[in-house]
Amino acid sequence: MSAAMESARTLAMGENETTGGARQSVGAPFGRAMVKLGQSRPEVVGLTADLGKYTDIVPFRDAFPERFFNVGMAEQNLVAVAAGLARTGKIPFATTYGVFATRRAFDFVAIALAHSHLNVKIVAGLPGLTTGYGGTHQAIEDLALMRMIPGLTIIDPCDATEIEAATLAIADHDGPVYMRLLRGAVPVVLEPGYRFEIGKARKLRDGKDVGIISTGLMTERAIDAAAALEQRGISAGVLHVPTIKPFDANAVAEFASSVGRVVTAENHVVVGGLASLVVETLFDAGIQRKVTRIGLPDRYIECGAVPTLQQRYGLTTAAMTATIAALA
């Protein structure tokens, strides 16, 4: 095997979310937060549909075996059972992959959970393009699907700090939640002192030429791209939007007004998700800015090594920097 082939060979399932940069990482931040929650909140229970090992919920299972239920490969039942548990006062955290939680179990999320505003948290692994396993496993349209469900809170965290903070925050929030999961070794991107709050966007960097509005793991790349752009004389700000719903339209409008043009960056198709929300927000507020959408095209993504695919679809820091520099 050639060196080039060797370097391109990553696990198809993409066990870790680190980009190989200089940042520190934390192992299984969701599992750590779940153990903390389990200790302080006896009503928190865990569920999975045969993906416990792959969604970082094993530490909770091991600490609280009597409060953990594995329903097997049955995502409709996963959501239905969680709904029933919530009706007895429990706070169920149900894990599976995003593709199964959304495509397979949509009717149960919409009707069994959200219609009754039940207190269930769905935590969904392999968001967007974080696996090379192909269209069956890449949840590239999950945010768009979930956005259409009334009353559902949707979170796309960007790093280990935020995963932990958001896990605790959604347990305190009374109502159904869909949260994207970054699993395995997850980088620490946010500065100490960052405070996560459901429904709030945070400006992480000031800039005047370009405003990058990002969510999920694209925020790490947005920060790095903004630093690289500065070297090229382009002033780029970054607004991190971890909550997709309810959307912080005021913060987005204010940020967009303060920059020359807007770039959206999401680990998701560019229809129906963050880009659509930003464009709708600017239109509603009467703010005229050109918007460039970084994200996945409206098509099924092929199999391959994750870094290769992310490079091909413009999601890496280098690709993003080049895209934005070319706008000037």
Partner 1 sequence: MPRNSPPADPDIDALRARATMLRRHMLTMARGQGAGYVGQGLGIADVLAALYFHELRYDPHNVAWTERDRFLLSTGHYSIALWAALAEAGIIPVEELVTYGADGSRLEMSTLDTTPGVELIGGSLGHGLGQAVGQALGLRLDRSEARVFVELSDGEMQEGSTWEAAMSASHFRLDGLVALIDCNGIQADGPVVLDMEPVGDKWRAFGWETFEIDGNDLEAVTGALASARHRNGRPKAIVLRTLPGKGVKRIESSEKSHFFRVDVAQWDSIIADFEQSVGAGA
Sites of contact with partner 1 (CB under 8 A): 45, 66-67, 69, 71-72, 74, 76-77, 79-90, 92, 107-108, 111-112, 115-116
| C-alpha to C-alpha distance for 188 and 168, rounded to whole angstroms | 17
Alpha-carbon Rg of the chain, whole angstroms?
A: 19
Q: Which is nearer to partner 1, 112 or 263 (CB)?
A: 112
Q: Which is nearer to partner 1, 43 or 254 (CB)?
A: 43
Q: How far is the CB of 89 from partner 1 (least distance, A)?
A: 7
Q: Which is nearer to partner 1, 66 or 191 (CB)?
A: 66
Cβ distance 188 to 161 under 8 Å? yes
Q: How far is the CB of 45 from partner 1 (least distance, A)?
A: 7
Q: How far is the CB of 151 from partner 1 (least distance, A)?
A: 13
Q: Which is nearer to partner 1, 43 or 206 (CB)?
A: 43
Structure tokens at 241: 């939007």
Q: How far is the CB of 289 from partner 1 (least distance, A)?
A: 42
Q: Which is nearer to partner 1, 81 or 241 (CB)?
A: 81
Q: Compute the half-sphere exposure of residue 251: CA atoms within 13 Å on the CB side of its CA.
A: 19
Q: How far is the CB of 108 from partner 1 (least distance, A)?
A: 7
